[in-house]
Structure 1
Amino acid sequence: MSYEFLGERLIRAVRKPHQCKACGRTIQPGLPATYATTIQDGEFFAWRSHPECREAEAVWNKQRGPWGQRNSCDEDYFWLWQAMEGEPIERAWLVANHPVAAGRLHISLEGCDYPEPARRWAV
């Protein structure tokens, strides 16, 4: 898999609604967004995220592997909504370090407020 991260920039205020690729919620007109671009296997990709969601996603992926290092891409990159469906320790980390992003995903220390019950984490 070939991958090249082209970059990202902050948009101070979007003009129309966009879906945050990290949390899946709508970025309303007038709110800031992060615009990121990549080339994967020769195809151009671009997406927008809430700045808080993008920051949480980037930090989480950098902590778990080589993603984000110059000329390196771990194929196990996770979008924030995917990463936070996992272990309780990951959800607790998000609540403690990125409370705005956690709130958008309905994650709290008490559990998860997903449409499917928390049984997916049951042992």
Structure 2
Amino acid sequence: MMEQENLIPELLKCLPKLKPLYEEELEWMEEVLPHYIFGSVVTPYTVDSLKNNIEESKELFRFFNEMAVGDEYVQNVLVVSLLEPLITERDIIDQAKLLMSETTKQLCEEMERAYGYL
């Protein structure tokens, strides 16, 4: 199970293309803040990927689906820093849902209901 302590190392191991973007953010950060990394690096990268590169999106969502069954902190990062902004991308959210596991999709749809999209 993915846990808070291994979230960022696992992210970089599973998705090495994100490492340069991550390192760019680290240059000015005093500590690694997963919510910030997801909000400023992972989510924009995911949105771009969903719009331009479905194969890469599949890789991303394999990781996100693992996060959905991680510890409470990892799930919170997924929901607050990825799914919450992603549901506002109405032109790509249905495409994203096709790549989600049942657990991830359930978390996503809970957010959509909370924000009045469903």
In the superposition, the TM-score normalised over structure 1's length comes to 0.35
In the superposition, the TM-score normalised over structure 2's length comes to 0.36
Q: Which has the larger radius of gyration?
A: 1
Give the strand-richer structure, 1 or 2. Answer: 1
Give the helix-richer structure, 1 or 2. Answer: 2
